[in-house]
Structure 1
Amino acid sequence: MSAASRALQRSNRTPQLDRRMPQRLNRTRGRAALLTSGAAVAALLLSACGSGGTKGGGNGAGFVTGTDGIATVAKADRIPAPDLSGETIDGKQLDVADYKGKIVVLNVWGSWCGPCRLEAKNFVKVEADVKDQGVQFVGINTRDTDTGPAVAFEKSYGVTYPSLYDPTGRLMLRFKKGTLNPQAIPSTLIIDREGNVAARSLSALSEEKLRKMLKPILAEK
């Protein structure tokens, strides 16, 4: 076959390839859309049950992370916590905003999470010590596909404070990027008496560290 004949055949095939391109693009875009829709939750869950999270100094968002991994925000730079309301693991309704005027210790946990089990006894002990000082503990249970294991977890460790049920992480995603948002499981945030996020830890907390997080917020007037 001559070079001219081969060139003609190639030119005749090109329109067929071109006609297939929109279909391929549509399939590619469809897959990309599916991936994007779950990307935020996936990114959060990939960090689940780690020993920590991103740590560092100030990042321009008004907070500074100390060498102990506890990030804090000056009172004047704090922003309000997002809407954190819904059904608890025992089927009741809860809205964290109703605790305004109290300090709220917000702990993100899962019954499947080893570090969560390690810190549970510390939360129970500190909660018992400070609940009469205007401090309310609240959990956010996540990635448990059923409330049964979560309820069993709380019973096993003697947890008496409520926990919102958030299996898909939707409540966690309400925190704005670049703020003191929960980025790992476990994560602990402290919300001040005005409803603003004051401190965060992205790792399991010892009793000593939990008390250290609370102390300056308790001292505020």
Structure 2
Amino acid sequence: MSSRRAPRRTLLAVGVLTAALALSACTGENTGKSGGGGGTNFVTDAGGISTAARDKRQAPGELAGETVDGKRLDVADLKGKVVVLNVWGSWCSPCRAEAPHFVKVAKELKAKGVEFVGINTRDPNKQSAVAFEKDYGVPYPSLYDPAGKLILFGFPEGTLNPQAIPSTLVLDKEGRIAARSLMALNEEKLRSMIEPLLAEK
């Protein structure tokens, strides 16, 4: 009986995530909250960027699968580098607004050991995602996650997890979640999430 319930719970969880993302998608709003609470151990600054202290960071779950261009990617293989994860959808206006900033910073920081990975979600037609990447000249891969499964299962409870579209998370060199933004970013804010992690020894 429990084996029959598990798929139902999974479907319910995916439904809840989809509804939550639908409510928060493309708002570009800053909640203005500070402090983690609930055992999350993070602090949110006035600009809406949340960070976790080095000794409080947690690794994400498995973030692997097929990319928008049909290749295989496992984020765990990028350990040792600072990794920027950007959750986006081709239909999302704030995602389009921030794309040029991500492209510029990704190109400029690659030589310094920074890797960018997109997580494309809620795009049932992969061609829309392909067209987005082509339009903006995106130089990095994006995992294709139309149902939001990677977002739901890839980030443990209590971590800095994506809760809106767009969301951006930065992993430190040990592969742990160090910073998160739940809104569209400009170049300055994006760099402010990355540069402290590059400086860590």
* Same fold (TM > 0.5): yes
Over 3 Å counting, the alpha-carbon distance change for 1:34 and 1:78 in structure 2 is closer
Q: Distance in 2 between matches of 1:113 and 1:203?
A: 12
Secondary structure in structure 1 of the residue aligned to 2:149 = coil
Structure 1 letter corresponding to 2:188: E
Runs (4+) of structure 1 exceeding 2 A deviation are 33-37, 52-55
Unmatched runs of 5 consecutive residues or more in structure 1: 1-32
Asked whether the 8 Å contact 1:143–1:168 carries over to 2, the reply is yes
Partner of 1:198: 178
Across the two proteins, how many residue pairs are aligned to each other? Answer: 190
Unmatched runs of 5 consecutive residues or more in structure 2: 1-8
TM-score, normalised by the number of residues in structure 1: 0.82
Over 3 Å counting, the alpha-carbon distance change for 1:219 and 1:179 in structure 2 is same
Over 3 Å counting, the alpha-carbon distance change for 1:34 and 1:74 in structure 2 is closer
- Pairing partner for 1:146 from 101, 125, 135: 125
Structure 1 letter corresponding to 2:19: A
Question: How many angstroms does 1:47 deviate by?
Answer: 1.2
Partner of 1:105: 84
Q: Distance in 1 between matches of 2:42 and 2:139?
A: 31
TM-score, normalised by the number of residues in structure 2: 0.90
- Pairing partner for 1:49 from 12, 15, 26: 26
Larger radius of gyration: 1
Asked whether the 8 Å contact 2:41–2:56 carries over to 1, the reply is yes
Q: Distance in 1 between matches of 2:174 and 2:10?
A: 39
Question: How many angstroms does 1:178 deviate by?
Answer: 2.6
- Pairing partner for 2:17 from 37, 40, 46: 40
Question: How many angstroms does 1:45 deviate by?
Answer: 2.7
Structure 2 letter corresponding to 1:109: W
Over 3 Å counting, the alpha-carbon distance change for 1:98 and 1:35 in structure 2 is closer
Question: How many angstroms does 1:144 deviate by?
Answer: 0.5
Mapping of residues 1-221 of structure 1, within 5 Å: 36-37=12-13, 38-52=15-29, 54-58=31-35, 59=37, 60-174=39-153, 175-221=155-201
Q: Alpha carbon RMSD of aligned pairs, Å?
A: 1.8
